Structure 1
Amino acid sequence: MARNICFCAAITAVLISLCIAATLDIPIYRQHLIVGDETRGKSIKASETKPNPVWHNDTIPLQKFMDAEYFGIIRIGSPAKNFKMVFNTMWGDTWIPSAHCGLFEIACMTHTRYDSSRSSSYQEDGTIFSTGDTANDLQGFVSRDKFRLDHLTIENQSFIEMTHIPWIPYGLSKADGIIGLGFPDLRHIKAPSFFTNMLKQKLINKPMFSFYFNRDATTERAGRLVLGAPDRKHVNESTLVTVPVIGKLYWNIKMDRMVIDVRDKSHPFCKDGCEALLDSSTNTIVGPRDEIQLINDLLGARSFVPAIFKMDRYMVNCREFAKLPPINFVIAEKTFTINSKYYVQHLTYESLEICLSPFVPSDEKFWQLGGAFLMEFYTEYNFDHGQVTIGKTKF
């Protein structure tokens, strides 16, 4: 009984995390893209020392939480304090929980909170913030402080100190907050975004970032985010395709179609082309309700919907999911295939297990391609050119 309760708690945490989409604590590894410090760990003479290298990009190691969310560490304030942050292509702003949360703000109190009184580099702004969404309202106020990466420091970065964070969907999220990587027009506040500030302060040379995700299920390493540079070490360059972004708000591109072959029959979706938003914050693939229902039927998935979560998730047979068909996404007339070994979310706790389809229905007409798609592909995002580059990852 106790084991079942623990597993249910774990599944509850995952389901909460999967809701985050408005949705990787120890740095695992880091690839230095400009220069390396080959003297680390060696004794050197004063005459042999060299000036510190000038960095024009930085790398953030990513971790994953039960394949449901991906986050990395940002250090904020002086002295610096670690925050686990989701780098979210679906958001324009940056926010973290505030020490000014009320005692009954459970989602805030259970995460790392920012206390301006303990940071000597804090700067007051005070602008009031609210998403205005009655069902999922976030409330707080704007502040400024230093944001520190491994090699770069962003000065006077504006962010939202959240004082009200809904329990659903944020309460059991592993991450503390969000750094928005959407286009500037997606911001709720007027101050420069995290990425815009990096450019304005000449910390990076190129107005781009790139994601590489690690699909190894045996590790919490989830890959890395590179800010200001491409990172094509793990991509098959012959598979790269570059497509324009539609509208420069979200990172949404045109998807030509999607095809699933089952029992020698092809089942097309998005037949006349459709918009697809690339979503780094979650592991799901979201699409129009009628098409998602048909896809889940083809996968033999059955509904798994705890009513309190106000979400639609489907389960597949854990003993059979490896036999599920590959799914083909056609973008710029090039086919990108994902396999069930990676697109099914396989959760285990001792001898108990559950397997979730990544396909989640929505009342919107566009698609959102999250980690179930991104896990098998390398992606580059270029602000100035308004384009996304996608290629097959080498493992």
Structure 2
Amino acid sequence: MLQIINIVIAVLFVNDVVGAAATPALGKVFEIPIYRKPLEFVNEKSPDTSDNDIEKPKPPNPWKNDTVSLEKFMDAEYFGIIRVGRPAKEFRVVFATTWADTWLPSAHCGLLEMACMIHTRYDSSRSSTYQEDGTPAKFEQSGNDNLSGFVSRDHFHLAHITLENQSFVEVTHIPFIPYGYSKADGIVGLAFPNMRQVQVETFFSSMLKQGLIEKPVFTFYFNRDPTTERAGRLILGATERKYVNGSLTTVPVINKGYWSIRADRILLEDYSKTYAFCKDSCEAILDTTTNTITGPTAEIERLNALLGARAFVPSIFKMNRYMVNCRDSAKLPPINFVIAGVDFTIRSKYYIQHLTYESMEICLSPFVPDNQTQWLIGGAFLMQFYTEYNFNTGQVMIGHTKY
């Protein structure tokens, strides 16, 4: 049982808090491809970030084929590499549609801050481009201990694009659950600006204002193909519609804080019978921080019962995860999300989370109960659908992913 608990805890990077980010301007395109392969870290001093380069003229911003490898962890997290400061130090970050703020663990964490100590920490004393701010910052989280720290500024390097003097929070207190089990070090928020909990320029707004990207748009494309290391792509400032099979569906954002859209209904089709959820439409928040799909408790419990899923660990752990029989998982029924009158169907070979630990195999339902009325639609849905997010129009474009 201890092994089972360990493996489930490891995938529970499900954030209870959500923030916001971004505003419009003009520039170029920057792409972040996503890979499954392990990360290879370089020394903090590298040829393109040497102190000897400080006085050199700034070259034109490259934009074609500027990519950063990312790592996928147990179908639970997708994160990319940013480099911060001079000499640049690498951090693994989740690019989160349910946050607006950007934060990294700080070297000023206390020795008892275990979640901070086991991750890469930002040390301002080792960066020549650091600028002091010091404004206290706290991220309020419902149901969890809060993150807290202070604001700093430094250069953020994305492949060959440098975001200068970007404000972020150096976090000095990080609750161990859930962050102690996250492979990512921090968060880069991509939600709307009014969701900020710290009133500084957001990451996406800075890219626009500094002319690093062309359009107030970002795009996510994920790929679960096990035969390739490439697991998807985040495109900042443009779209990549060659990954779309068929047409795109335009869906208005109903709450410009989160990327919230209206789902008409959710259907489970089992043989000749159809079971309906979200019958009278519901708010659905697109969430790139996790693989799960969270919904109202009564509806999720009913849905899991129809899948034959049962609670995985004792309720005292408050994990709210359900397990299915791995041998039968491929036979589970598809789930159909009707959005803007269009069917978006997810299939069990993608929505079931398969985990292995030593000789043990565990299969988890992605459906997680919550006492909120909204649904949070994470990777179990997004892995099969290409999505574009437009700050100017307040719209999301959704299409079937071409594999």
Decide: shared fold, TM above 0.5. yes
| SS state at 2:257 partner | coil
Name the residue aligned to 1:11.
8
Describe the superposition over 1:341-365 as per-residue Cα deviations: whole angstroms up to 9, x where unpaired.
0000011134310000000011111
Identity across matched positions, percent: 64
Q: How does 1:107-256 map to 2 (within 5 A)?
A: 107-133=115-141, 135-217=144-226, 221-236=230-245, 238-256=246-264
Alignment check: 8 A CA contact 1:57 1:203 kept: no
Task: Report the counterpart of residue 22 of structure 1 in structure 2.
Answer: 17
Counterpart-to-counterpart distance in 2, 1:273 and 1:266: 16
How many angstroms does 1:308 deviate by?
5.4
Find the aligned partners of 1:346 and 1:193 in 2 and give their Cα distance.
35
Q: Which segments of 5 or more consecutive residues in structure 2 lack a partner in the other structure?
A: 19-31, 38-58
Question: Residues of 2 paired with 1:136 and 1:309: CA distance?
Answer: 16
Q: CA deviation at 1:381?
A: 0.3
Distance 1:57 1:129 in 2: 36
Alignment partners' CA distance in 2, 1:115 and 1:202: 28
Higher relative contact order (CA 8 A, sep 6+): 2
Question: How far apart are residue 55 of structure 1 and its match?
Answer: 2.7
| Cα separation, partners in 2 of 1:21 and 1:220, compared to 1, 3 Å | farther
Query: Does the aligned pair in 1 maintain the 2:296–2:374 contact within 8 Å?
Result: yes
Write the distance in 1 (CA, Å) between the matches of 2:311 and 2:69. 35
Residue 383 of structure 2, aligned match among 356, 375, 390: 375
CA 1:350–1:267 in 2, change beyond 3 Å: closer, same or farther? same
Secondary structure at the aligned position of 2:183 is classed as coil
Partner amino acid, structure 1, of 2:149? G
- Match for residue 48 of structure 2? none
Say if 2:344 is the partner of 1:336. yes
What code does the residue aligned with 2:17 have? A
Q: Kindly tell me: are residues 320 and 28 of structure 1, through their superposed partners in 2, closer, same or farther at Cα, counting changes over 3 Å?
A: closer
Q: Please report how far the alpha carbon of residue 59 of structure 1 lies from its aligned counterpart in structure 2 after TM superposition.
A: 4.6
CA pair 132-7 structure 1, distance change in 2 beyond 3 A: closer
2:373 is the alignment partner of 1:365: yes
Tell me if the contact between 1:144 and 1:159 (Cα under 8 Å) persists in the aligned partners.
Answer: yes
Which residue in 2 is equivalent to 1:39?
none
Is the CA contact (8 Å cut-off) linking 2:100 and 2:202 kept in structure 1?
yes
Note closer, same or farther for the CA distance 1:192–1:220 as it changes in structure 2 (3 Å cut): same
| 2:289 is the alignment partner of 1:281 | yes
The 8 Å contact of residues 287 and 359 in structure 1, kept in 2 or not, is answered as yes
Post-superposition, which runs of at least 4 consecutive aligned residues in structure 1 deviate over 6 A? 23-29
Distance between the aligned counterparts of 2:61 and 2:127, measured in 1?
27
C-alpha change, 1:306 and 1:194, in structure 2 (3 Å) is farther
Q: Deviations over 1:150-198 (max 9, x none)?
A: 1211001000000000001100100000000000001111111000000
Contact 2:33 2:233 (C-alpha < 8 Å) held by counterparts: no
272, 278, 302: which is aligned to 1:270? 278
The secondary structure found in structure 2 opposite 1:240 is strand
Question: 5+ residue gaps in structure 1?
Answer: 30-50
Q: Which residue of 2 aligns with 1:34?
A: none
Correspondences of 1:44-83 after superposition (within 5 Å): 54-55=62-63, 59-83=67-91
Correspondence for 2:324 among 316, 320, 328: 316
The change in CA–CA distance for 1:220 and 1:160 in structure 2 (over 3 A counts) is farther
1:360-391 CA-to-partner distances (Å, cap 9, x unmatched) read: 01111111100000000000000011110000
2:312 is matched with: 304
Partner AA of 1:11 in structure 2: V
Take 1:263 and 1:189, find their aligned partners in 2: how far apart are those partners? 50
After superposition, the Cα gap between the structure-2 partners of 1:53 and 1:202, relative to the gap in structure 1 and judged at 3 Å, is: closer
Give TM-score, length-normalised by structure 1: 0.88
CA distance in 1, matches of 2:244, 2:213: 22
After superposition, the CA RMSD in angstroms is 2.2
Number of residue pairs the alignment of both structures matches: 368
Give the TM-score normalised by structure 2.
0.86
Q: How far apart, CA to CA, are the structure 2 residues paired with 1:153 and 1:381? A: 22
